[in-house]
Structure 1
């Protein structure tokens, strides 16, 4: 059963949420874990692809869009199943992934945007109702 964590940001800036996703992806990759970054749509996936190249000047995070290489250490996609199971899912979509059970760890990144806050609260309850023990982590 995956470990579920909600990382809570103190502001409502969407750019900081994406940067937090990149930092967490880098940390998981450095720990030797495969990462699936789940964007909310194709535009956000493209933004994440560009951001992973530029968010940190002194570090390269090997990544690909799922359609380019699904077995990359860090994969960016939507609802595709992970090529590497038991990795880390960083979910930026407001809905739960259909592949939650295939990951060892699921990270939901929350900021203070009212719509996102409500969706994440609903997701927290859904995880709990499904037998998971989600945790809250303040950033």
Structure 2
């Protein structure tokens, strides 16, 4: 059965930088070995999230990429998709749209 979780951003660090919550969720999914699809609001948000995933935690590496940039998208546990980009469904979807 499918499940949907909704998050209210109450922590101060997430209020000022809501994409940090996405990074935390992506890290938890990565630690659990879950392939994740992040549906970004637009290309700019996809690029911002891509950059943040590289730098948000010095002790965590989360294999990720923006959909459509490389043919080996299956290797990245976290795939970031802007609208209009084809991306295969994954067990976990984080919808920012």
Q: Which bracket does the TM-score occupy, shorter chain normalised?
A: 0.7 to 0.9
| Consecutive unaligned residues in structure 2, runs of 5 or more | none
Could you list the per-position Cα deviations for residues 71-97 of structure 1 after superposition, in whole angstroms to 9, with x for gaps in the alignment? 221100134454353x1101111xxxx
Deviations 1:22-72 (A, max 9, x none): 110110111011011111000000000000000001111100101124322
Counterpart contact for 1:64–1:76, Cα < 8 Å: yes
Relative contact order higher in (CA < 8 Å, ≥ 6 apart)? 1
Aligned partner (choices 92, 106, 110) of residue 96 of structure 2: 92
Highest Rg: 1 or 2? 1
Taking structure 1 as the reference length, the TM-score comes to 0.59
Find out whether 1:83 has 2:84 as its counterpart: no
2:45 aligns to what? 44
Q: Which runs of 5 or more residues in structure 1 are unaligned? A: 94-139
Contact 1:34 1:84 in 2 (8 A): no
User: Conserved in 1, the CA contact under 8 Å of 2:81 and 2:87?
Assistant: no
| Per-residue Cα deviation, 1:95-129 (whole angstroms, up to 9, x for no partner) | xxxxxxxxxxxxxxxxxxxxxxxxxxxxxxxxxxx
Aligned length: 91
Task: Return the structure number with greater strand share.
Answer: 1
User: TM-score of the superposition, structure 2-length normalised?
Assistant: 0.82
Inter-partner Cα distance in structure 2 for 1:13 and 1:43:
19
CA RMSD in angstroms, aligned pairs only = 1.9
Deviation at 1:2, TM superposition (A): 1.9
Are the aligned partners of 1:65 and 1:75 in contact in 2 as well (CA < 8 Å)?
Answer: yes
